[in-house]
Structure formats: C-alpha cells, structure tokens
Chains A and B, each alone.
Chain A
C-alpha cells in the first residue's frame, strides 16, 4: 500500500477549526483515503473516508486534492474530546471470498492537542 506523510503533532484551541494535512504522493487510482483517530488506551475510531470527492459527515469533513496526492481532515469546531492521534491511511480494496475488504496499516499519525 502507498505511504502517507503526516505532521508529528498539531495544536488547536477549543471551538476553533482544525485542518490536519496528509500527503500521499504515490497514491494509486484504487486507493481509498481513510482517517481514524485513537485516544490513549482505546481502539481506533473511524472518522471519515473518501476516494475522489470531498466528503462530509457528522464528525468531520475530508477535502481531497484534485490530483489526490494530498488530503486534509477538517474538524470544524475542536473540542477537548477531539484530542487524539489522527491517522491518515490509504487502502486498496481487495477481493476474496466473494467480497471486497481492506487492510489498514497505521503509521505514526498526528498527535492533536486541544487547548481549553
């Protein structure tokens, strides 16, 4: 799977927007872009994913560059509960056993600190 590059850490103030960047210059045409986050001593939590178009859900927005070589996760109003490690992951669907599935490989991610 193609690699992603994220800043080691970022800081934000509560109730301000946060833009978390991710570079993936070697992305293939079939790679989906996934974002997960992980709080200490917890399992990862799905945030959002996309392929080519920008995506919005109740948690966040995902802005994907036109050439797909980078993307940005946008938290519109950061809260203290958003403090976590955020992972940007590329994953290509695989087919076996009659269905598609995906393997996620987590890198080091971005440690987001939110200040009150």
Chain B
C-alpha cells in the first residue's frame, strides 16, 4: 500500500513565477490536508479538502495561494507570483474517515521543499 506521494520533492522558482505542488493521498483516502513548515518553525495547517470541495481554508494566505482536489487526479497547491517568504517545506497528509467519528491519524507525505530565489 503506497503511502502519501508528493512531487516534486524539491522545487526552485524565481520570484514572480508560479509553483504547483502535487499530492496523491493514500489509497482509499479521499481527504487531504496541506501544511507549511517555515524554516525553524513547526508545521502550520493551511487547508483541508475533500474530493471537489474545500472544507476549511482558514490557514491559507488570503492572496496568491489556492488549493484544489479534483474528482480525478492529485490534490494541487498552487502559489502564484512566489516571493522569498514562500520558501518552506509543504507537506500534505491524508486521513481515513469512517462515519463522523474522528481521532484518526493523518498520514503525511515526504514534503515538497520550495526555494524561491
């Protein structure tokens, strides 16, 4: 059973370019979270998505950042017009959902390390 996959693992962009980060959840998981880890800081929640729906984007910066999880294909985190402050490790996680009970673990991918030059 393949784990959460993210690509690319490393991404270098110049200021002003666009960055697209992809996340394929574990098989059977249809819920995805995105987190950002700035240098020397802990991971911070960005957005939670189900297939074709953004459920909670309270951690997303108001501008330049967007996320989607289409019916087919991976979840995409898109950063437009990147700035140096966007340099960070971006992790996605997926979780199994059974009914409405929670407490289930989140399975994290290896992350995409974005460097903005």
Binding site for B on A (CB under 8 A): 32, 34, 41-46, 49, 51, 87, 93-109
Distance of B81 from chain A, by nearest CB (Å)? 27
Residue contact A46 to B105, C-beta cutoff 8 Å: yes
Distance of B61 from chain A, by nearest CB (Å)? 16
Q: How far is the CA of A116 from the CA of B44 in the complex (A)?
A: 33
Name the contact of A104 in the complex, choosing from B43, B55, B97 (C-beta under 8 A): B43
Q: How many residues of B contact A (CB 8 A)?
A: 31
In this assembly, does B101 line the interface, its C-beta being within 8 Å of a C-beta of chain A?
yes
| Known contacts A99-B97, A108-B42: A46-B107 contact under CB 8 Å | yes
Distance of A102 from chain B, by nearest CB (Å)? 6
Name the contact of B48 in the complex, choosing from A51, A93, A103, A109 (C-beta under 8 A): A103
Name the contact of B106 in the complex, choosing from A46, A94, A99 (C-beta under 8 A): A46
Residue contact A99 to B50, C-beta cutoff 8 Å: yes
Residue contact B42 to A109, C-beta cutoff 8 Å: yes
Chain A residue nearest in CB terms to B48: A101
Residue contact B108 to A45, C-beta cutoff 8 Å: yes
Chain B residue nearest in CB terms to A44: B108
| B4-53 residues at the A interface, CB under 8 angstroms | 4, 31, 33, 35, 37, 42-45, 48, 50, 53
Q: How far is the CA of A100 from the CA of B35 in the complex (A)?
A: 18
Name the contact of A103 in the complex, choosing from B42, B53, B59 (C-beta under 8 A): B59
